[in-house]
Structure 1
Protein backbone atom coordinates (compact mmCIF):
# COMPACT_ATOMS: atom_id res chain seq x y z
CA UNK A 1 0.00 0.00 0.00
CA UNK A 2 3.04 2.29 0.24
CA UNK A 3 2.92 2.92 -3.50
CA UNK A 4 -0.63 4.36 -3.20
CA UNK A 5 0.25 6.95 -0.55
CA UNK A 6 0.73 9.68 -3.19
CA UNK A 7 -3.01 9.42 -3.91
CA UNK A 8 -3.82 10.49 -0.36
CA UNK A 9 -3.69 14.25 -0.93
CA UNK A 10 -5.69 15.37 2.11
CA UNK A 11 -4.59 13.04 4.88
CA UNK A 12 -7.97 11.29 4.99
CA UNK A 13 -8.68 8.65 2.37
CA UNK A 14 -12.39 9.43 2.09
CA UNK A 15 -11.73 13.11 1.37
CA UNK A 16 -8.92 12.19 -1.03
CA UNK A 17 -11.18 9.85 -2.99
CA UNK A 18 -13.87 12.54 -3.21
CA UNK A 19 -11.30 15.09 -4.43
CA UNK A 20 -9.92 12.70 -7.05
CA UNK A 21 -13.44 11.87 -8.30
CA UNK A 22 -14.20 15.59 -8.52
CA UNK A 23 -10.95 16.25 -10.40
CA UNK A 24 -11.63 13.43 -12.86
CA UNK A 25 -15.20 14.70 -13.40
CA UNK A 26 -13.98 18.25 -14.11
CA UNK A 27 -11.36 16.96 -16.56
CA UNK A 28 -13.97 14.78 -18.28
CA UNK A 29 -16.40 17.69 -18.61
CA UNK A 30 -13.67 19.95 -20.01
CA UNK A 31 -12.52 17.25 -22.43
CA UNK A 32 -16.07 16.67 -23.59
CA UNK A 33 -16.79 20.36 -24.17
CA UNK A 34 -13.30 21.35 -25.35
CA UNK A 35 -14.49 22.11 -28.88
CA UNK A 36 -17.14 24.55 -27.67
CA UNK A 37 -14.59 26.21 -25.36
CA UNK A 38 -12.22 26.64 -28.32
CA UNK A 39 -15.02 28.04 -30.49
CA UNK A 40 -16.04 30.48 -27.78
CA UNK A 41 -12.45 31.64 -27.29
CA UNK A 42 -11.92 32.18 -31.01
CA UNK A 43 -15.20 34.13 -31.26
CA UNK A 44 -14.15 36.34 -28.34
CA UNK A 45 -10.79 37.04 -30.00
CA UNK A 46 -12.57 37.88 -33.26
CA UNK A 47 -14.94 40.30 -31.52
CA UNK A 48 -12.08 41.95 -29.62
CA UNK A 49 -10.31 42.62 -32.92
CA UNK A 50 -13.45 44.38 -34.20
CA UNK A 51 -13.79 46.58 -31.10
CA UNK A 52 -13.04 50.28 -31.18
CA UNK A 53 -10.40 50.85 -28.50
CA UNK A 54 -10.13 54.27 -26.84
CA UNK A 55 -6.64 55.23 -28.03
CA UNK A 56 -5.06 56.73 -31.09
CA UNK A 57 -2.69 54.26 -32.79
CA UNK A 58 -0.86 57.13 -34.54
CA UNK A 59 0.33 58.70 -31.28
CA UNK A 60 3.36 57.57 -29.30
CA UNK A 61 3.92 57.31 -25.55
CA UNK A 62 1.27 58.36 -23.06
CA UNK A 63 -0.39 60.69 -25.60
CA UNK A 64 -1.67 57.50 -27.20
CA UNK A 65 -3.95 56.91 -24.19
CA UNK A 66 -5.29 60.49 -23.90
CA UNK A 67 -8.93 59.54 -24.53
CA UNK A 68 -8.67 56.58 -22.17
CA UNK A 69 -7.17 58.77 -19.42
CA UNK A 70 -9.80 61.47 -19.88
CA UNK A 71 -12.63 58.92 -19.78
CA UNK A 72 -11.19 57.33 -16.63
CA UNK A 73 -11.02 60.72 -14.91
CA UNK A 74 -14.62 61.53 -15.90
CA UNK A 75 -15.88 58.18 -14.59
CA UNK A 76 -13.90 58.56 -11.33
CA UNK A 77 -15.30 62.05 -10.70
CA UNK A 78 -18.83 60.88 -11.52
CA UNK A 79 -18.50 57.96 -9.09
CA UNK A 80 -17.20 60.26 -6.34
CA UNK A 81 -20.12 62.65 -6.87
CA UNK A 82 -22.63 59.80 -6.92
CA UNK A 83 -21.20 58.23 -3.77
CA UNK A 84 -21.31 61.63 -2.02
CA UNK A 85 -24.93 62.07 -3.09
CA UNK A 86 -25.91 58.62 -1.81
CA UNK A 87 -23.94 59.09 1.43
CA UNK A 88 -25.60 62.48 2.00
CA UNK A 89 -29.10 61.10 1.59
CA UNK A 90 -28.20 58.11 3.75
CA UNK A 91 -27.04 60.47 6.49
CA UNK A 92 -30.21 62.57 6.22
CA UNK A 93 -32.52 59.53 6.33
CA UNK A 94 -30.52 58.10 9.22
CA UNK A 95 -31.01 61.33 11.17
CA UNK A 96 -34.75 61.36 10.38
CA UNK A 97 -35.20 57.71 11.42
CA UNK A 98 -33.20 58.28 14.61
CA UNK A 99 -35.41 61.28 15.45
CA UNK A 100 -38.63 59.34 14.69
CA UNK A 101 -37.68 56.30 16.76
CA UNK A 102 -35.90 58.25 19.48
CA UNK A 103 -32.51 56.61 19.02
CA UNK A 104 -29.72 58.64 20.63
CA UNK A 105 -27.11 59.98 18.21
CA UNK A 106 -23.55 58.79 18.49
Structure 2
Protein backbone atom coordinates (compact mmCIF):
# COMPACT_ATOMS: atom_id res chain seq x y z
CA UNK A 1 0.00 0.00 0.00
CA UNK A 2 2.77 2.40 0.96
CA UNK A 3 4.77 1.46 -2.14
CA UNK A 4 1.74 2.11 -4.36
CA UNK A 5 1.15 5.49 -2.73
CA UNK A 6 4.83 6.37 -3.12
CA UNK A 7 4.66 5.42 -6.80
CA UNK A 8 1.63 7.62 -7.39
CA UNK A 9 3.31 10.54 -5.60
CA UNK A 10 6.52 10.03 -7.62
CA UNK A 11 4.62 9.89 -10.91
CA UNK A 12 2.66 13.00 -9.95
CA UNK A 13 5.89 14.83 -9.12
CA UNK A 14 7.48 13.82 -12.43
CA UNK A 15 4.32 14.84 -14.31
CA UNK A 16 4.26 18.24 -12.58
CA UNK A 17 7.95 18.91 -13.18
CA UNK A 18 8.23 17.49 -16.70
CA UNK A 19 4.69 18.01 -18.06
CA UNK A 20 5.74 19.42 -21.44
CA UNK A 21 8.37 16.76 -22.05
CA UNK A 22 6.04 13.93 -20.99
CA UNK A 23 3.19 15.28 -23.15
CA UNK A 24 5.54 15.65 -26.11
CA UNK A 25 6.81 12.09 -25.60
CA UNK A 26 3.28 10.68 -25.42
CA UNK A 27 2.29 12.58 -28.57
CA UNK A 28 5.31 11.14 -30.41
CA UNK A 29 4.47 7.62 -29.19
CA UNK A 30 0.89 8.03 -30.40
CA UNK A 31 2.13 9.20 -33.81
CA UNK A 32 4.51 6.26 -34.14
CA UNK A 33 1.82 3.75 -33.12
CA UNK A 34 -0.43 5.05 -35.89
CA UNK A 35 2.31 4.19 -38.41
CA UNK A 36 2.48 0.55 -37.24
CA UNK A 37 1.01 -2.33 -39.17
CA UNK A 38 -1.26 -4.17 -36.77
CA UNK A 39 -2.13 -7.87 -37.26
CA UNK A 40 -5.86 -7.36 -37.82
CA UNK A 41 -8.24 -5.93 -40.35
CA UNK A 42 -9.98 -2.79 -39.06
CA UNK A 43 -12.99 -3.30 -41.37
CA UNK A 44 -13.82 -6.77 -40.02
CA UNK A 45 -16.00 -7.38 -36.98
CA UNK A 46 -15.84 -9.97 -34.21
CA UNK A 47 -13.32 -12.83 -34.18
CA UNK A 48 -12.75 -12.53 -37.96
CA UNK A 49 -11.02 -9.23 -37.26
CA UNK A 50 -8.21 -11.09 -35.46
CA UNK A 51 -7.86 -14.00 -37.93
CA UNK A 52 -4.17 -13.35 -38.70
CA UNK A 53 -3.39 -12.91 -35.02
CA UNK A 54 -5.19 -16.14 -34.09
CA UNK A 55 -3.51 -18.08 -36.91
CA UNK A 56 -0.07 -16.80 -35.87
CA UNK A 57 -0.75 -17.74 -32.25
CA UNK A 58 -1.73 -21.28 -33.28
CA UNK A 59 1.46 -21.64 -35.35
CA UNK A 60 3.60 -20.48 -32.42
CA UNK A 61 1.83 -22.84 -29.99
CA UNK A 62 2.23 -25.86 -32.28
CA UNK A 63 5.87 -24.99 -32.97
CA UNK A 64 6.54 -24.70 -29.25
CA UNK A 65 5.02 -28.12 -28.56
CA UNK A 66 7.03 -29.71 -31.39
CA UNK A 67 10.26 -28.11 -30.19
CA UNK A 68 9.56 -29.32 -26.65
CA UNK A 69 9.02 -32.85 -27.98
CA UNK A 70 12.30 -32.78 -29.93
CA UNK A 71 14.25 -31.47 -26.93
CA UNK A 72 12.64 -34.07 -24.65
CA UNK A 73 13.49 -36.88 -27.06
CA UNK A 74 17.08 -35.66 -27.44
CA UNK A 75 17.44 -35.41 -23.65
CA UNK A 76 16.07 -38.92 -23.17
CA UNK A 77 18.38 -40.29 -25.85
CA UNK A 78 21.48 -38.54 -24.48
CA UNK A 79 20.75 -39.73 -20.94
CA UNK A 80 20.55 -43.32 -22.21
CA UNK A 81 23.74 -43.04 -24.31
CA UNK A 82 25.77 -41.41 -21.52
CA UNK A 83 24.40 -43.92 -19.01
CA UNK A 84 25.40 -46.80 -21.29
CA UNK A 85 28.89 -45.38 -21.88
CA UNK A 86 29.55 -44.78 -18.19
CA UNK A 87 28.58 -48.36 -17.34
CA UNK A 88 31.16 -49.78 -19.76
CA UNK A 89 34.08 -48.89 -17.42
CA UNK A 90 36.57 -48.24 -20.15
Task: Specify the TM-score bucket, using the shorter chain as the normaliser.
Answer: 0.5 to 0.7
- Structure 1 distance, partners of 2:81, 2:51, is 45
Superposition deviation, residue 34 in structure 1: 4.3
Q: Please tell me the root mean square deviation across aligned C-alpha atoms, in Å.
A: 3.1
Aligned counterpart for 2:43 among listed residues 58, 61, 65: 58
Are residues 1:46 and 2:15 paired? no
Of structures 1 and 2, the one scoring higher in RCO (CA 8 A, sep 6+) is 2
Superposition deviation, residue 101 in structure 1: 2.0
Unaligned runs of 5+ in 1: 1-8, 10-22
- Structure 2 distance, partners of 1:39, 1:90, is 52
Q: SS where residue 84 of structure 2 aligns? A: helix
User: What is the number of residues matched between the two proteins?
Assistant: 80
Bigger fraction of residues in helix: 2
Cα 1:37–1:96 change in 2 (3 A) is farther
Unaligned runs of 5+ in 2: none
Q: Which has the larger radius of gyration?
A: 1
TM-score between the two structures when normalised by the length of structure 2: 0.64
Cα 1:39–1:66 change in 2 (3 A) is same
